[in-house]
Every structure is written in C-alpha cells, then in structure tokens.
Chains A and B, each alone.
Chain A
Amino acid sequence: MQKYSIFSLIKNAFSNHKNWEVAWKDPEPKKQYDVVIIGGGGHGLATAYYLAKEHKITNVAILEKGWIGGGNVGRNTTILRSNYMWDANGLFYEYGMKLWENLSQELNYNVMYSPRGIINLAHSDAQLNTYSRRGNSMRLNGIDAVMLGRDELKKMIPFADFSSSSRFPIFGGLMQPRGGTARHDAVAWGYARQADSLGVDIIQHCEVTGFEVQNGKLTGVQTSRGDIKTKKVGLCVAGSTSLLAEKLNMNLPIESHVLQACVSEPVKPFLDHVVTFGAGHFYCSQSDKGEMVMGGDLDGYNSYAQRGNLPTIQHVLSEGVAMFPNLSRLKMLRTWGGIMDMSMDGSPIIDKTHIEGVYLNCGWCYGGFKATPVSGWTFAHTIAQDRVHELNSKFRLNRFSTGHLIDEKGVGTKTWIG
C-alpha cells in the first residue's frame, strides 16, 4: 500500500495526481472465508481491520449491500465523547477515546480528530448536582471531566442565552475537554484502506439474502452474488439488524427509528465547542466549513425510511433557538435522516448468539459513530476468540431477560415516554 505523506503528495504532484493507487480494491467474492462481516459501515470496516491487525485473521470479507460508508457513518453529527456515568459505558467509550487519539497515525489517514471539548449545559441546581455526580464517576474511571460555572461559560460560549429573561437560565455545565469531533467519511475510508491492504476483501453491492445453519452451527451465507462458505459471521448493520435476525428466526430487543440531523448555511467561526442543551434534546457544533451541525430527538415512530418529518426538525430547532437565540437568523442548508437500531435500554449489544458462529453488533441508538473504533476492536476480539472481551462483557444480549440493563439515561426506544 502506498503510504500517504508529504513526500507522496509532492511526488504525485509531478504527474498531476493521475497515478495514485486505488485506496481499496474491488474483488469478486471468493467461495470461502474464515470470517464474513455483514455491513460496510464504520463498525464493519473497523471490525475487519482489527480482525486482521490484532488477531491475524485476514481471510475476511466485508459484504455491503450498497457502497461502503453510505449508511449511518456518513449521516451522523461526528461527535466523540466518553462522558458516561456507568462503568460499563465509561470504560468502554474511554478505551475508544484512546483509539481516536491515535487513529490518524494508525490508519495513515487524517480523520481530523478535533478535541474541542463537549459541554453539557445545566439549567437548574438539581441538574448541576446530577452532572457533578456524573463528572465524579467519570474521573474515578480516569476520564477527563470539568465542572464549569456560569461565568466561565459566558466566556466560552458568549452567544448562548445568558439574558435575565431566558426560559432556561444557564446555571453551569459539565465539560469533557477531550471530547470533540472527527471527519466521519475519513473514518470509514481510512479503515477500508487499511483493511484492504491487510488482505480483507471489501465487496460492495452484495446483499446477504440468507444464512445456512446446520445443527445450531453457521456454515455459510447466501448473497446476491452467490453462496459463501464461512463458519463465522458478524452482523454490523445498525438499523437493519432486525431484518437479518429475522432470517435466523431471532427476535431482538431492538426497534428501528429515524433520527434526523441538519446543517445550516456556513458562517464565520462563532462556536468553538460541542454544546448540548440540558432542558431538552438538542446539541450543536460548528463544522470546519462553518456550517452549524445540529441534532436532537428521534421522530419517535418505527421507521426504515431514511428521511423524517418537519415537526421533529421544528421541535429540535426551537430548542436550539432557546439555547443560541442567534441561530434563528440562519438558513438551513439541508436535513437528512438515518435509521437507528434503538435498543430497549439505550445501550449497545456486542455479543455471541445462541447460533454458533453468529455474532451480533447492534443497538447503537443515538451514538454509534463515537464507538466506531472500540466497537470494531471489541467485536473483532469477540469473533476471533469466540468470547466477549472485558470491555463489552456488560453489553450482552441476555441482559434484558436477566435484568442487567444499562440504563445510562433511562431512554431506549420509548422516547414518547418522559
């Protein structure tokens, strides 16, 4: 593989950039693989990369129905953080943050990790108490957390509503300084390029249509481009997980919902951090191009349509205007939707299943993007070793029936309650 560097850039400038190697190949599917990963999104590509790099399993195929990076990894709001209270989440996502910090070097691809800090605003004394509890839990787990007062916040985010007539006055906030953003497409492409160079076959426009299971063991998958023999398959298909699970006669604790995001027209820099509204579900950051990147609630009903409706956008942006009144003067550039695999407790599932050789990676809810590296890392371990790693040992599929839910926020699919 051609390494990207200032020297390769200069060298290729002499040939008008016409001789760059392709970043990944376009192979025909083979008849047999050691591991098949379904889904060429961030999690699938990362899983294949760590299978090859950490576990030396290189006879791996990624089967993607459309094109790689065309699903939720290209539709999110690019936020990275590990500001969780429960150990199961905190330790898992913090391991992910450590992977993010070194990811551009590791992948030889600039993922534009920007540790600009993520601020959760508090609008009451009670909320500040809750945030200090969460902040303390984070620090006990070795995660950076800083409590901010109103005066400090005034200096950091001067355009927020600090007026005396504010409906939701800002009391303070909790900040994770290492939280921030990354360039989402680069994450998918960086993992794809490295996985390809380690021998992984990235097969696009190849839909999985069925599974072959004999005596409770997986023996192969059927695809739109022929049958493939394999003893291990990993599902990384986010909102479509239930559709594949149905082919295996499995019901999952998952509902698919549409989540919208939007960006405004580009403006000069005025927001240096990621900021979340504490009195509702709204957050925003400013992209490198100057657009305000904003998101909030699910539309709130089961959906496989990658588009939502206006009432949710209006609801989310009215919260945005309550937080930053000057947002009301911006024009919206575009809105879009992605299909979230909403688990019933709001936390993910990375586990084996009752069928030998079938592994599950789903339930990412609102937050799959930040988990891309650590999800791939732990899922690769689970597949290669046929057992969960300590980091994903709480994200079991059976936690719902045994009562070991991870109710970080107490929201799963049921956003209509609360």
Chain B
Amino acid sequence: MLEIKCPYCGKRSQNEFSYGGDAAVKRPELGKEVSDKEWDNFVYLRKNPRGNHREFWHHVAGCRQWFKVLRDTSTHEIFKTARLDEEL
C-alpha cells in the first residue's frame, strides 16, 4: 500500500488517489504552429525511466486537487510531493 502525502491534506492511503502520468511532459505552447513531431512527443513518447520519476497524482477521493510526486519506479518509494505551482 502506497502512502501519499497530499500537499493539502497530509498523508493518506493510495486508495484515495488516482494517477495522472509523467509530469515532465510539456504541452506545446498555445497559439503557436505545432509540428506533427512535437505533437508526437507530447502525446505518445515517454522517457519511462527506472528510478526517479516526476508524476501527477489526483486526490480524487479527498480534496480533488492535482499535485506532483517524486517517486522511485523501481522501489515505489515516494521522496517528495508538491503543489503544481511549487518546484519539485
């Protein structure tokens, strides 16, 4: 069982959260011409690292806030969580 520290509510069980994927992926800028390659990078291609991974989680059965988590994908250890407007 993962214990995830929501930056707003504190430590809660994994049951209250849902996963939102890689937080390092950046959406192409709005109002700019975007090439197929850039869309491909954003929508499909992932680094998929073994080790430290910055990712989004959603406290869906709690405060319903999105936030960022730094987690090790090989051990599931969670090092740090942060609000979206904070550095991780």
Give the interface of A toward B (CB within 8 A): 240, 242-243, 246, 251-256, 300-305, 309-311, 344, 400-401, 413-414, 416
Contact = CB atoms under 8 A, between A and B. Distances in A.
A376 to B, nearest CB: 24
B85 interface: no
B76 A305 contact: yes
B40 A414 contact: no
B80 interface: no
A253 B44 contact: yes
Contacts of B71: 301
Given A302-B22, A344-B44, 16 more contacts: A242-B48, A251-B46, A252-B45, A252-B48, A253-B44, A253-B46, A255-B21, A300-B19, A303-B74, A304-B50, A304-B73, A304-B74, A305-B74, A305-B76, A309-B76, A400-B40
B18 A416 contact: yes
B1 A309 contact: yes
Contact of A302 (B18, B55, B75): B55
A24 B2 CA distance: 42
Nearest to A251: B45
| Most chain A C-beta atoms within 10 Å of own C-beta, residue among B2, B20, B45, B53 | B45
A253 B39 CA distance: 12
Nearest to A250: B45
A367 to B, nearest CB: 19
Given A309-B2, A416-B20, A303 B45 contact: no
17 contacts: A242-B46, A242-B47, A242-B49, A243-B50, A246-B47, A251-B45, A252-B46, A252-B48, A255-B48, A256-B50, A301-B71, A302-B53, A302-B73, A304-B50, A304-B73, A305-B75, A416-B20
Classify the interface of chain B: helix, strand, loop or mixed: mixed
Contacts of A253: 44-46
Interface of B: 1-2, 13-15, 18-22, 36-37, 39-41, 43-50, 53, 55, 71, 73-76
Contact of B15 (A302, A303, A311): A311
A401 B44 CA distance: 8
Contacts of A400: 40, 43-45
Contacts of A305: 73-76
Contacts, number: 73
Contacts of B40: 400-401
Contact of B37 (A240, A242, A243, A401): A401
Nearest to A399: B44
A207 to B, nearest CB: 14
B52 to A, nearest CB: 11
B72 to A, nearest CB: 9
Contacts of B37: 401
Nearest to A301: B19
A297 to B, nearest CB: 12
A254 B13 CA distance: 28
A310 B1 contact: yes
Nearest to B2: A309
A300 B13 CA distance: 15
A335 to B, nearest CB: 14
Contacts of B44: 253, 344, 400-401
Given A303-B76, A305-B74, A414 B48 contact: no
| Most chain B C-beta atoms within 10 Å of own C-beta, residue among A240, A251, A254, A302 | A302
| Most chain A C-beta atoms within 10 Å of own C-beta, residue among B2, B37, B73, B74 | B73
Contacts of B36: 401
A302 B76 CA distance: 9
A344 B44 CA distance: 6
Given A303-B73, A305-B75, A255 B46 contact: yes
A413 B45 CA distance: 12
| Most chain A C-beta atoms within 10 Å of own C-beta, residue among B2, B13, B50 | B50
Nearest to B58: A416
B59 to A, nearest CB: 13
A302 B1 contact: no
B76 A254 contact: no
A400 B41 CA distance: 10
B1 A414 contact: no
A302 B43 CA distance: 16
Contacts of B53: 302
